[in-house]
Amino acid sequence: MNKICLALGCLFFGSLTFAQNVTPGPQDAPTEGTAINIAVSYTDESTGDEFFADADKNERKGDLNQALNLFGKAAFEYNNDRKFSRYGAALLRMSNVHMLLTNYKEAEQVVLNAALKTYTKIGSRSGQMASYNQLGKIYFAANKLTQSLWFYTQQGILAQQLKNNTAYIDSVLGIALIKIKKKEYNLATKDVNRAELLAKNAKITQFTQQIKINRSVIADKQGKK
């Protein structure tokens, strides 16, 4: 049982790492084989960029409270400068830190009340997609599986519209995790197989380990039925 919980934890926190490296930006053109865009570009560097970079460093070294403070400062500066795409990116990173701190309600509200509204207002579908991805992860972590499934599904729909294969595969694997948690192992296996085929056809390799762990977890759980 402990091995299974550990494997599921690795899968979930592996997806968090993916979320930190994928980032919503203003570019909504099709991005073949690229992830949701959430990092800030450092051209025309500003005070907001400095806060964002420092926050990122603190999050990576595990100082989550300081990271949260600095992402908040970055968001404030970007909003003042009317750099709304970067503002949204900082908000999503704030949400992610709240989630890591298990502040699920705060993580949810930052996305629903600020990031998603901002991306919708500026017409950034890639930003909306990243917001759906983040909400999928938050609700999964909070064990609200129905809500998590809905937002991963919305991410997948937008990813297909944007022809973003990486983001679509990520959504499929997120849904597979939900089905594993709900003990729907046959359905989860179909999602994992579909993700593997999509990744192979698109020559995307970053999900190889995640797919392998998913299969191992399903096999362990089915073996103990």
| Predicted local confidence at residue 17, as pLDDT | 42
- Chain-wide mean pLDDT for the chain? 86
| Predicted local confidence at residue 5, as pLDDT | 46
Per DSSP, the three-state class of 31 is: coil
Predicted TM-score (pTM) above 0.85: no
Q: Does the pLDDT of residue 104 top 70, yes or no?
A: yes
Cβ(195)–Cβ(171) below 8 Å: no
Q: Does the pLDDT of residue 41 top 70, yes or no?
A: no
- 27 — phi, psi (to 5°)? -80, 120
Ordered structural domains, the chain, with CATH: 2-223 (1.25.40.10)
Q: Dump pLDDT digits (tens) for 9-34.
A: 545 444 444 444 434 333 343 333 33
Per DSSP, the three-state class of 37 is: strand
Written as six digits, the tokens of 74 are 């970055």
Q: Does the pLDDT of residue 79 top 70, yes or no?
A: yes
Q: Dump pLDDT digits (tens) for 140-151.
A: 999 999 999 999
| Predicted local confidence at residue 223, as pLDDT | 77
Q: Dump pLDDT digits (tens) for 166-192.
A: 999 999 999 999 999 999 999 999 999
pLDDT-above-90 percentage for the chain: 77
| Predicted local confidence at residue 46, as pLDDT | 84
Model confidence band, residue 45 (pLDDT cutoffs 50, 70, 90): low
| Predicted local confidence at residue 97, as pLDDT | 98
Complete DSSP assignment for 67-118: HHHHHHHHHHHHHHTT-HHHHHHHHHHHHHHHHHTT-HHHHHHHIIIIIHHH
Q: Does the pLDDT of residue 50 top 90, yes or no?
A: yes
61: Cβ contacts below 8 Å, ≥ 6 apart:
none
